[in-house]
Amino acid sequence: MRDGGGWTFRRLAFDPHYDAEAVADFPGDGNWPCPEFCFEHDGSVVADPVFRWGTPLIVQVTPFSAPEWVGVFPAGGLGVVNGVFGTPAPDQMIVVVDGAAYLLAAVAPEAGALLLHEQVNQVVPVAGMPLLLLAGSTDIVAVGPQGVAWRSPRLGMDDLRVLDANQSGIRCSVAALGGHPVPIVLHPALGQ
C-alpha cells in the first residue's frame, strides 16, 4: 500500500496484477518516461489532460505483464473519495477522483474507462466474495470479476452508509423521509 498526494492505492481483499502510485505533478519538460493517457469525464481517452473542475489525479501504473503508463484523471466528481482500488479482476482497477469512479484495464488504458458512479462516498469489499461496493449517498454499484455485477435502485433519501458487508448480507444505514436513519440489508449477489 502506498500513500501520497492525499490518496492511497488499496489492494483491499484482492490480488491486483499491477502497482500504482501518485504522481505529484507533471514533469518539468512535459514528457513522461512512459506513455500518458488522459481521460475525459466520460472515460474516453483524449489527447490532452482536462482541468475543468480542479486538479486531476495523476497515477503511475506498473502492470506486471504490460508496459508502465501514466493516467491523468479529471477532477469534478460529487463525492469525497480519492484513490486507486484493486478489484476482483486482477487486471482491472478503479480510479476514484472526487467521488467519480472509473473502471479500466490496467493492462490496456488505451481502451478508455467506464464511468461507474459520480458520487462515491465509500469503497467497501464484500468479505468472502469477489465483490467491491461503490456507495454513493443513495445507491450502490457492485463490481465483480466480470465488471459491474449490479446497481441498486435508490435506497433512501440521503446519507447511505455501508456498515458491514459479507456473504450473508450488506448492512446499511440510510436516511428515510424525515431524515431519520433506517437500517436496510441487501443481498450481496443481487443488490436487492
Amino acid at 149: A
**What is the full DSSP assignment across 122-153?**
EEEE-BTSS-EEEE-SS-EEEEETTEEEEE--
Task: Please name the residue that has the C-alpha cell 502497482.
Answer: 19
Give the total residue count for the chain: 192
Instruction: pLDDT tens for the chain, 192 residues: list them.
Output: 333 445 668 888 899 999 999 887 888 887 889 999 999 999 999 998 877 777 889 999 999 999 999 999 998 878 889 999 999 999 999 999 999 999 999 999 999 999 999 999 999 999 999 999 999 999 999 999 999 999 999 999 999 999 999 999 999 999 988 778 999 999 999 999
Cα–Cα distances (Å) from 151 to 4, 90, 91, 105, 138, in that order, read 31, 21, 22, 20, 11
pTM above 0.95, yes or no: no
**SS3 label, residue 112:** coil
Beta-carbon count within 10 A of 128 CB: 12
